[in-house]
Every structure is written in C-alpha cells, then in structure tokens.
Structure 1
C-alpha cells in the first residue's frame, strides 16, 4: 500500500466545490449547498487513505492534534473576521436567540453544530460543517476499523439519508434537531462521510486496472453531466431527488481518484485551487458582507459584481492560506508534539523518596 499517494485531481475538485459554495451564497441561483456533501465524501476518502489503511500506527493524541491543526486556525480566523466586519458594518456585535456569549463559546470549542443551539446558524455560518467535520473525524478514529463491514457503512448512510429525506425532504438542513436529539447536520455529514470510506475501498479495488483513454474520458464526461444535473436541475418537484447526490459524489471521487482520463488530467492543473479551498470556504461570507456594504448601494447586479468578487476571494484566500493556515498548522503541531514530550518525560521521572521515612529508617 502506497500511503504517500497524492490525489491531485481530487484537489482540483475540492477547489471547484469551494467555489460552488462561494457562488451559491453570492448568487443563490443553484444548489451549491450540495458541495458540502461532496466535501464530506471526500473527507471520508482522504481520512481512510491516511489513517485507516496506513501501516504506520497513529495515536489518538496525534490524530486529534492533526485534525485540530488542520481545522482550527482558519476557523478561528474566520470567526474573528466575521465579528470585526459585522461590528464595523452594523455598529453592534452579532446577537443570537441562543445567546451571544453561549454561541461564541460554542464556536471556540467547535461545538456549534452538534445540536446545542437549535434556533439558527451563528457567526460565520458556513463553519457549521467544520464543527460537524471535526466530531465526525473523532467518531471515525474511535469506531471505524479496516474490518468494519462495507455493508454496515452503506446501511448507515442509507438510513441517515432516508431519515433526512422523510423529515426534511432536502439535504439543505444543518442545525435542526430530529426527535429533539439527533442533529440533522451531523446525520447528513456522517451519511456522506461513510460513503467516502466506501469510495476509498472501491478505489483500492480498481486502481490496478488500466482503462482505455476513450472509456476513461467517457465515464468522466458522464459524471460531469451528472454533476450539472445535480447542481442546476434538481429543483422544484425534483428537489427531493438530491438525496441521491452523495452516492453520485462517491462515484465521482472514485473515478477521478484513478486519474486515468483527460478531465482528471485537467483537474490536476487546478491543484492550487484545492490548496486554498478551505480558506475560500471560510472567507467568502465575510467578503460578501464587505462587498455588499461598500458597493451594494451603487446598483450593480450580483452577476456583474462576480467579476470583482471571485478574484478578490481567490487573492484573499491565497493570503490567508499562506499567513494563517500554514503557520497555524505548524504552531499547533509543534505545541502538540511539545506537550506529548512533556507528558512522556513526566511519566518516566524517578519516584522521589520519602525523606521523612528514610530518616526514621536510618535511626
């Protein structure tokens, strides 16, 4: 098993998915929120690759530090960016029905979308999925093993998506609680995440097969058409069919991870977009607020302002990737390693003799 394999085509897809979410919140003209389900399928695939099928053992501490280092710095930056920009624009701090301090504390602890605040999304709203992502990662590490049945994983996904379909009728559900106890965002996230694990297992079975170039291109082309249908045609009476989108994303991840067709080769050229995709995802709402406050009164259409919005978003996200994500990740990993070393040193310290008892014994 080559656990150093890198999926550049999937990086390109991740970048395009981040752009889809950013354009969805900007234009609200297509089902861009479904890109979040793609992110979660992709997360299951990547974590299965890095942790489930690696021959290098990973401790719970190292796994947790790794996930915090990946998710927390940019999440924290996005949170405070939102606070600052909102306060400047509105001349007041954000206020929520569940409590400003309580929801802010949830954001700091990544517990803002596990069912505790049931009224609304809070603060930097797209970060709801970051809360879901973190806790699903912990559940994955604790309970999913190589020998976990693929049928069990599939049944968990089908069951979760069926519940969402019956109770919400759409995948556009985040903070709501089902039966007062099951958070719909967590259920939605887990249903997609476990499909990512299945996608990785399928990739392992297919990776040794060489496809004729025309066949690979044909399959990739059909999947792109399917993506177009999912994002632009599943509306009105067809909207409930989007419940099948995570299964389509699973097939897309498998095929493009194989990197055998022309479209996969082209996606490799967008790897840089995937590199900054996390910053794109957490930056775009703040940028929308700024553009609306500065230029909203000028009367330009959103479609026209897209020519300003996207380049600014890409440039800003490139900077936050370099100056926030990378150093933040390095700092947390360094602190985690240092704490592990201190704990290890403390556990190997020789026991200090009881001098009072020693003196009494000498006498």
Structure 2
C-alpha cells in the first residue's frame, strides 16, 4: 500500500546523498536538505495510518515507544558503527580533525543512548559520529509526543499546532534558509519547529482524507527531484517548500498510479531509503578522504560509493534490519505491527 510513497522516500534519500557529496558529484542537489522535511511529512502520514486505530484502542504509549525504538535502533546503530570506523581512521592517520580518545568515548557512550553530545570542536553537532542522526532523534521524539498526547490531538488541535509551529519556523529560520538547522545546537529551535510542522502536516493529510488527483508517480518524482536540485533558493523558497510543496507531494503520492513493472523498483527504493540515510554520511566521508589520499577522480569515487551504498543498504534492509528488529521485538515482548510502508 502507498508504494508510490516508498519511491518518493527512496529518491529523497538519494538526493540527500548527492547533497552531502558536492566534492564527488558537484552541486547537483543544492536543496537536498529539504528532503528531511519530506521525511517528516511521510512519517506523520504513515504513523497516523499505521497506528491511529491502535492508539485509540489497545496500544499503550509505552508499547508504541518500544515499537518505534525498535524500528530506529538497528540502522541507527549501523550508521553509528560506520561513524566510529571513520573516527578511528582519523585518529590512526593523525588527522587534526580527529577527536581525542576521551571525547570519542564520550560521544560514543552518548550516541549509544541516543543522547546528543555537542562539542565546540565539532561546531556543536548533536551527533559528531554521524551528523544526520539529529533528524532521527527529532522524528523519534515527535513520534513519542504523538502517542503520549494522542487522545488530545483532534483535527482542530493538529491544525493549531501546525499553524503555531510554522510561525515559529518562519520567525527562527536563518536568512540563508534552513539548510544548517538541526544538525548542531544553534539550529535546534528552527529544527524543532520544522519537525513539528511537517509531522503534523502528514498526520493531518491522513486524518482529513482529502482525495488527491490520480497522476503518474514518474511526474511526482520528477517534480521532487527538480525541487531538491534547484540551484538557487534561500529562506523564502525553503519556507514555501516546507509549507506547500512537501505536503502537496506526499498528498499527490497517496493517489499516484504506478505500473506493475515499476512496482518492485518503487518498493526497493522504499526498502533502502532508511539504510541509505542512516549510513551515508560517514560512508561519504571515508570515500572522500580515500579519493584525496589516492588522487582518484572524484566522479569515479562517487559512482563507486553510490553503487556500494545501494548494494550494501539492500543487505542492511534485508536481512540485517528485519532480523535485528525481530530479535529486539522478542526481547521486548512487544507485539509488532505489520507495515508495508516503512515509517
């Protein structure tokens, strides 16, 4: 169900990879950071679709939180492990950017508990070992808030929360846009606002059940890629994307037509989207350092690391993620929910 949303998630994750690798591919995804806001909308929609009925009946907030931690933890841990490998390589090579062993141990201990550990030497990044983890933490926290306050979150309340969080985002967003919000401590306030707004917009899309026009998924994906590749932008563009384009793309994606031939491809893109997002940053950092040391053509290294990500993340999704979540579910004694669209 909603396999078109899987395709959107996969394409958006690949655009994030391109955005984070300008030295390898050039600036071909200048607005790729806005994919995070699309992820938040998708999360709100899918969480409401998958859990609203259960939260209203027999699923307690504590059980829901366990389910969400289980969903996040294996791939988050995989990204953390790769980030740790990168730090060890930095230390071994005597790189001036490397963390001291003490700070590395502190960051690792905090990250294992999913706790931010901002360091002045790392521009106060919340997660120095794998910077995109900030958005996973924000998504997990907003999921928790949704479950805890579920019985109060009527449609009018969600509308009010959406308006309030968007005003907060508009007031706190930097003049240059929201590209640098979220990953470090100074950008926390606008990041909270963009998370709340986009997640709320997604939940409202499900609750309101507005009928979307049936259009080709290829068209929606092309619009998405163009929106994330725009070579110019700034604060106004970012705010418009968050408020209008991102929810509209998800809304249209819920009614997209997709041919049987593309169905498997779309499902695969959704399958690898979370693994790619979880591990891509340290993988790119290792590849970029290797390319520089060995004087290799950046484009060739870029193609190689992208191919490795696609192949490796297919394995991370199946069997690693599925096996890990099954084991964690057995240990936690929480009855899982079957979802065709990963939240």
Regarding TM over 0.5, the answer is yes
Query: RMSD between aligned alpha carbons?
Result: 3.3
Q: How does 1:1-363 map to 2 (within 5 A)?
A: 6-27=1-22, 29=27, 30-54=30-54, 56-91=57-92, 94-95=98-99, 99-112=103-116, 119-121=124-126, 122-145=128-151, 147-149=154-156, 150-165=158-173, 167=174, 169-172=176-179, 173-176=181-184, 183-202=189-208, 204-206=209-211, 216-217=215-216, 221=219, 223=220, 226-233=223-230, 235=232, 238-246=234-242, 247-259=244-256, 261=257, 266=262, 269-337=265-333
The secondary structure found in structure 2 opposite 1:276 is helix
Gaps of 5+ in 1: 1-5, 340-363
Give the 3 Å change call, closer, same or farther, for CA 312–277 of structure 1 in structure 2.
same
Give the superposition deviation at 1:148: 3.9
Q: 2: CA distance between counterparts of 1:152 and 1:110? A: 30
Higher relative contact order (CA 8 A, sep 6+): 2
Q: 1: CA distance between counterparts of 2:53 and 2:178? A: 30
Q: 2: CA distance between counterparts of 1:160 and 1:113? A: 25
Are the counterparts in 1 of residues 74 and 321 from structure 2 also a CA contact under 8 Å? yes
After TM superposition, the score normalised by the length of structure 2 is 0.80
Are the counterparts in 2 of residues 118 and 175 from structure 1 also a CA contact under 8 Å? no
The secondary structure found in structure 1 opposite 2:154 is coil
Q: 1: CA distance between counterparts of 2:302 and 2:232? A: 23
Number of residues of Structure 1 aligned to a counterpart in Structure 2: 319
Are the counterparts in 2 of residues 113 and 129 from structure 1 also a CA contact under 8 Å? no
After TM superposition, the score normalised by the length of structure 1 is 0.76
Give the 3 Å change call, closer, same or farther, for CA 66–288 of structure 1 in structure 2.
same
Q: 2: CA distance between counterparts of 1:160 and 1:267? A: 39
Q: 2: CA distance between counterparts of 1:198 and 1:139? A: 15
Q: 2: CA distance between counterparts of 1:297 and 1:320? A: 28
Give the superposition deviation at 1:48: 0.7
Give the 3 Å change call, closer, same or farther, for CA 72–25 of structure 1 in structure 2.
same
Give the 3 Å change call, closer, same or farther, for CA 118–336 of structure 1 in structure 2.
farther
Give the 3 Å change call, closer, same or farther, for CA 245–317 of structure 1 in structure 2.
same
Give the superposition deviation at 1:115: 12
Whose Rg is larger? 1
Give the superposition deviation at 1:155: 1.0
Give the superposition deviation at 1:141: 0.8
Give the superposition deviation at 1:75: 1.0
Gaps of 5+ in 2: 336-343
Are the counterparts in 1 of residues 36 and 135 from structure 2 also a CA contact under 8 Å? yes
Are the counterparts in 1 of residues 166 and 193 from structure 2 also a CA contact under 8 Å? no
Give the 3 Å change call, closer, same or farther, for CA 134–94 of structure 1 in structure 2.
farther
Give the 3 Å change call, closer, same or farther, for CA 295–302 of structure 1 in structure 2.
closer
